[in-house]
């Protein structure tokens, strides 16, 4: 048996190496599933709950998936159900999920071998959408340094405020650190029973969290490009420009629309002063990008506001970011294609650059597959729960887009419904990413091409 062990290990390494070369997308899904399994086991331990009893498997699995997939939906109240050790486990799961398992694997490989090999570069390129292998090493360093630095900065700003609000040094540091990690990674988990509701009018608490969510949702390729060329915005690449522009427009548009529908709602914005309403509008405009935090009760919002949130959550944040959704560049490319068609332009252009037709095809494929997943999951939950369409659609899109906003019914889901959302969160975090990578990397060359004929559209 001892003699066969090295051979077995070597065979396992060969298998992983072969998968990495032939199908990095499948390997990414496998590793993500393994990480979810590990944290499910940890949260199933008695020490992970406040009562010392084992959590039901479905709740441990749901929470682990939500944390690793940086979603924030919960079936049990995070602040009161889990023990301190359980909350630490959730925070670690958020950090791992935010970095991305493939990126984390490259970091570990770099620490061991002092360099990133070709296989690890390919894996990280698949996770981060980096097209040039030479950029992967610098991107990995940017991921770990930037994310940690921003989390520390957010925690440093939040810590004195929590301490001023009658929290001890240790408690203030813990809450500041947890909120910083949860905000930058767009996770939406809160370590306290009341969440952010007590800070609904506190600029000192909400503004750092808002900024952290916005930056985390931009994506590491954007942070890398902008960080290198900070003083020369004209030299930023097309991806960075599209991401920043579309993100800013969606935040402003979302905030304005949510404020317009909720301004006089006595259960949400109504009791607030003008300044506090503007703060809440800004906060509410950023959170559907995948942040998942809320300072006013989402279940008390008007149905029109839910629909606005549905649209914003479905789009999500930037590619290779901690956010979910179909991604803002996907939306931008499709809108630019519509504009080009309306103008009669043959090419889709933006910021002095021509967008290849292959990018539009990937954007359409990702959008349609995502919409189909949302449709199927919505139908399943409608049959399982018997709830109304508006409530079910909100929960489904929030799970798929790994956002975490909820109308408050997630904990009341039947066990089958919890499994549906668990699978949807996992697919939302890995599915569209791997689909886009697979379609972008696939290049089928054909010797014979059929004659062109255009069908009637519209």
Bridge partners of residue 353, in order along the sequence: 350
pLDDT band at 268 (very low <50, low <70, confident <90, very high): very high
CA 157 vs. chain centroid, Å, equals 23
- Residues 73-112, buried b or exposed e (16+ Cβ, 10 A)? bbbbebeebbbeebbbbbbebbbbbbbbbbbbbbbebbee
Gap between the Cα atoms of 69 and 171, Å rounded: 26
181 close to 210: Cβ distance less than 8 angstroms: no
- Straight-line distance from the first to the last Cα atom of the chain, in angstroms, rounded to the nearest whole number: 67
pLDDT at 130: 54
Cα–Cα–Cα angle for 255, 261, 264, rounded to 5 degrees: 110
Average pLDDT taken over every residue of the chain: 85
pLDDT band at 15 (very low <50, low <70, confident <90, very high): low
316 close to 400: Cβ distance less than 8 angstroms: no
Of the two residues 181 and 449, the one the predictor is more confident about is: 181
Gap between the Cα atoms of 288 and 281, Å rounded: 12
252 close to 285: Cβ distance less than 8 angstroms: yes
Encode pLDDT of 332-356 as tens digits: 999 999 999 899 888 899 998 999 9
pLDDT band at 273 (very low <50, low <70, confident <90, very high): very high
Token digits for 25? 């997308």
Of the two residues 457 and 405, the one the predictor is more confident about is: 405
Q: How many Cα atoms occupy the beta-carbon half-sphere of 91 within 13 Å?
A: 19
pLDDT at residue 193 above 90? no
CA 69 vs. chain centroid, Å, equals 7
pLDDT at 137: 61
pLDDT at 136: 57
Nearest-10 crossing angle of helices 136-164, 118-128: 50
- Quickly tell me which residue has 């940017």 as its tokens: 142
Per DSSP, 355 falls in state E
Q: Where are the domains of the chain?
A: 18-441
Q: Length of the chain in residues, anyone? A: 458
pLDDT at residue 191 above 60? yes
pLDDT band at 314 (very low <50, low <70, confident <90, very high): very high
Of the two residues 136 and 298, the one the predictor is more confident about is: 298
pLDDT at 285: 94
Gap between the Cα atoms of 270 and 159, Å rounded: 30
Q: Which of 39-48, 107-116, 172-181, 401-410 has the lowest mean pLDDT?
A: 107-116
- What is the mean predicted confidence (pLDDT) over 51-62? 95
pLDDT at 102: 55
Encode pLDDT of 219-267 as tens digits: 878 888 888 888 888 889 999 999 999 999 999 999 999 999 999 999 9
pLDDT band at 3 (very low <50, low <70, confident <90, very high): very low
Gap between the Cα atoms of 64 and 57, Å rounded: 10
pLDDT at 231: 85
pLDDT at residue 439 above 50? yes
pLDDT band at 84 (very low <50, low <70, confident <90, very high): very high
Q: Which of 21-30, 260-269, 378-387, 428-437 has the lowest mean pLDDT?
A: 21-30
Rounded to the nearest 10 degrees, how much is the dihedral formed by the CA atoms of 124, 246, 295, 180? 30
Looking at the chain, the whole-number percentage of residues with pLDDT higher than 70 is 80
Phi, psi values for residue 352, rounded to 5°? 75, 20
Gap between the Cα atoms of 92 and 211, Å rounded: 21
- Residues 131-152, buried b or exposed e (16+ Cβ, 10 A)? eeeebbbebbebbbebbeebbe
């Amino acid at each position: 048996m001892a003699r066969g062990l090295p051979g077995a290990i070597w065979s396992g390494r060969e298998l992983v190496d072969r998968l990495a070369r032939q199908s990095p997308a499948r390997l990414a899904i496998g590793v993500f599933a393994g990480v979810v399994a590990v944290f499910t086991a940890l949260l199933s331990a008695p020490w992970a709950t406040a009562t010392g009893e084992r959590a039901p498997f479905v709740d441990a699995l749901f929470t682990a998936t939500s944390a690793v997939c940086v979603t924030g939906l919960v079936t049990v109240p995070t602040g009161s159900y889990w023990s301190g050790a359980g909350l630490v486990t959730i925070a670690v799961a958020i950090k791992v999920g935010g970095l991305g398992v493939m990126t984390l694997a490259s970091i570990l490989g770099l620490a061991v071998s002092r360099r990133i090999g070709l296989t690890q570069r390919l894996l990280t390129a698949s996770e981060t959408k980096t097209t040039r292998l030479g950029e992967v090493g610098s991107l990995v360093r940017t991921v770990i340094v930037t994310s940690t630095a921003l989390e520390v900065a957010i925690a440093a700003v939040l810590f004195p405020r929590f301490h001023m609000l009658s929290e001890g040094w240790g408690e203030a540091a813990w809450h500041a650190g947890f909120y910083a990690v949860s905000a930058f990674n767009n996770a939406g988990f809160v370590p306290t029973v009341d969440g952010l509701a007590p800070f609904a009018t506190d600029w000192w608490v909400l503004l750092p969290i808002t900024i952290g969510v916005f930056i985390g949702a931009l994506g590491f390729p954007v942070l890398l490009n902008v960080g290198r060329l900070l003083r020369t915005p004209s030299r930023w690449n097309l991806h960075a420009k599209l991401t920043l522009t579309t993100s800013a427009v969606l935040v402003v548009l979302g905030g304005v629309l949510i404020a317009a529908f909720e301004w006089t709602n006595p259960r949400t914005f109504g009791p607030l002063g003008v300044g506090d309403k503007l703060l809440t509008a800004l906060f509410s405009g950023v959170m559907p990008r995948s942040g998942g935090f809320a300072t006013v009760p989402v279940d008390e919002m008007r149905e029109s506001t839910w629909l606005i949130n549905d649209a914003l959550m479905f789009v999500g944040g930037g590619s290779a970011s901690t956010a979910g959704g179909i991604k803002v560049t996907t939306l931008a490319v499709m809108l630019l294609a519509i504009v080009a068609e309306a103008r009669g332009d043959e090419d889709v252009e933006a910021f002095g650059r021509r967008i290849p037709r292959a990018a539009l095809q990937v954007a359409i494929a990702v959008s349609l597959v995502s919409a189909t997943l949302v449709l199927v999951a919505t139908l399943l939950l409608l049959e399982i729960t018997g709830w109304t369409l508006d409530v079910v659609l909100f929960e489904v899109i929030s799970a798929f887009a790994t956002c975490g906003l909820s109308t408050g019914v997630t904990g009341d889901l039947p066990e089958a419904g919890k499994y549906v959302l668990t699978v949807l969160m996992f697919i939302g975090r890995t599915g569209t990413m791997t689909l886009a990578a697979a379609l972008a990397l696939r290049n089928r060359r054909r010797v014979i091409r059929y004659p062109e004929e255009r069908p009637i559209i519209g």
